[in-house]
Amino acid sequence: MLAQDESSACARRGARELLVKALYQWQLAGQSEREIKSQFSSLPEFDRIDKLYFSDLLSIVLNNVKCLDQKIEEHSSRDVRLLDAVSRSVLLLSAAELTQRVDIPRKVVINEAVELAKRYGPKDCFKFINGVLDKLSVNVLDGE
């Protein structure tokens, strides 16, 4: 059973990684959800991720961008429009997980976001992301 849990966690981690890339691309190229799903589903690594998680969260983010941006700004000292595309992608994904996927523990969401920011974001952006998500997660727990 433990091996299955680890496999599931790896598949979800892979989905988050592709989601950050997809959201980055969406910000730069302005592609539709359908175009993004089509393009990313043709990647070799797509077979190793949690496909349903990828699809669901991509839809959640793209259908709620304004609301998610607002939540991020409420817990940030920066204007979302001025964030680099990687940081915004990580924050959008994680804000969606925190607010829409209550089945995912907040510590997991924040840890995964920090790791993605360290891997793909500008130097030290993970500190900013950690702070924003920590504040957001507390408010979500308080029933914001």
Instruction: Give yes or no for a contact between 33 and 62, defined as CB atoms under 8 angstroms apart.
Output: yes
Instruction: Give yes or no for a contact between 136 and 95, defined as CB atoms under 8 angstroms apart.
Output: yes
Query: What is the rounded average pLDDT of the residues 122-136?
Result: 94
Going by the DSSP 8-state scheme, the letter that residue 48 receives in this structure is G
Q: Tell me the pLDDT tens digit for each residue of 23-34.
A: 999 999 999 999
Q: Please enumerate, as own/partner, the contacts of 80-86 that have beta carbons within 8 Å and a separation of 24 or more.
A: 84/121, 84/122, 84/125, 85/24, 85/27, 85/28, 86/20, 86/24, 86/117, 86/120, 86/121, 86/122, 86/125
Structural domain containing residue 77? 2-141
Q: Tell me the pLDDT tens digit for each residue of 91-117.
A: 999 999 999 998 899 999 999 999 999
Q: How many domains does the chain have?
A: 1
* CATH, residue 71: 1.10.940.10
pLDDT at 141: 62
Reported as type and span, the H/E element at residue 80 is: none
